[in-house]
């Protein structure tokens, strides 16, 4: 049976486990970013770079697996989109970290609600993948609804923070922080789009 499986039967890959590993790595990137912004922990910013390298390697591995197999638990296009969306979360965090360094921005305490909502978003997305393994469409739909609400919270809190900077700071500080807030919304957007892709995969479970 071993020889038959190796040389005759189509190769199979546990994409649930592979994607879970990738989303876990993307979550670590977001959490390290939040830790840096909340606590001004420079080690966390260094960790973002390490996280990004790990995420990029996992993306390459998962893409190679997708190209190398015939049988997949979901349609190949959905898996492809998910691999890339998770990579986009990491890239968005990396770009934000670069801006924080270049603009020399320290996030004020008033930004705390933004990072709280971001943390809730990425934790919910990670949890959603466990429900994908269980083929639990109802729980995934609930997770996606939660992420939508958290995304709405991020957008609103970014607008509030931008208005405060405009009211209280000079134009240079305002513009620097506005750029950071735009990038924060981009991270949240990528998590939200990933959640939509997760729901799309759940709908197609047979």
**Greater confidence, 63 or 69?**
63
Residue 2 forms part of a structural domain: no
The distance from CA 106 to its chain's CA centroid, rounded to whole angstroms, is 22
Domain count across the chain: 1
Give CA angle at 26 (138, 103), nearest 5°.
Answer: 130
The pLDDT score that the predictor gives to residue 69 is: 85
The pLDDT tens digits for 13-62 are 789 999 999 999 999 999 999 999 998 888 888 899 889 999 999 999 99
Give the separation between CA 119 and CA 113, rounded to whole angstroms: 10
Q: Are 117 and 136 in contact (CB under 8 A)?
A: no
In the structure, what pLDDT confidence band is assigned to residue 7 with cuts at 50, 70 and 90? very low
The pLDDT score that the predictor gives to residue 11 is: 61
Q: For residue 52, what is the domain's CATH number?
A: 1.20.58.220
Residue 120 forms part of a structural domain: yes
Distances (CA, A) of 175 to 105, 117, 170, 180, 188: 11, 23, 9, 9, 20
The pLDDT tens digits for 131-143 are 988 888 999 999 9
Residue 176 forms part of a structural domain: yes
Residue 129 forms part of a structural domain: yes
Residue 89 forms part of a structural domain: yes
Q: Cβ-count burial of 112 within 10 angstroms (0-12 exposed, 13-18 middle, 19+ buried)?
A: middle
Residue 108 forms part of a structural domain: yes
Residue 135 forms part of a structural domain: yes
Domain limits for position 81: 14-203
Residue 67 forms part of a structural domain: yes
Q: State the average pLDDT over residues 188-204.
A: 93
């Amino acid at each position: 049976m071993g020889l038959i499986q190796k040389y005759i039967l189509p190769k199979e890959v546990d994409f649930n486990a592979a994607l879970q590993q990738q989303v876990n790595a993307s979550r670590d990137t977001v959490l390290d970013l939040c830790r840096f912004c909340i606590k001004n922990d420079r080690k966390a910013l260094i960790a973002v770079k390490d996280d990004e390298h790990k995420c990029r390697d996992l993306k390459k591995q998962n893409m190679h697996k997708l190209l190398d197999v015939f049988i997949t638990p979901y349609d190949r296009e959905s898996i492809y989109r998910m691999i890339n969306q998770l990579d986009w979360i990491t890239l968005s965090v990396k770009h934000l970290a670069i801006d924080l360094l270049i603009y020399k921005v320290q996030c004020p305490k008033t930004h705390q609600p933004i990072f709280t909502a971001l943390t809730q978003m990425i934790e919910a997305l990670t949890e959603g993948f466990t429900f994908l393994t269980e083929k639990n469409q109802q729980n995934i739909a609930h997770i996606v609804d939660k992420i939508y609400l958290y995304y709405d919270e991020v957008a609103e809190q970014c607008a509030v923070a931008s208005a405060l900077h405009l009211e209280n700071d000079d134009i240079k500080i305002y513009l620097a922080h506005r750029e950071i807030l735009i990038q924060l919304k981009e991270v949240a957007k990528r998590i939200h789009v990933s959640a939509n892709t997760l729901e799309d995969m759940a709908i197609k479970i047979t």
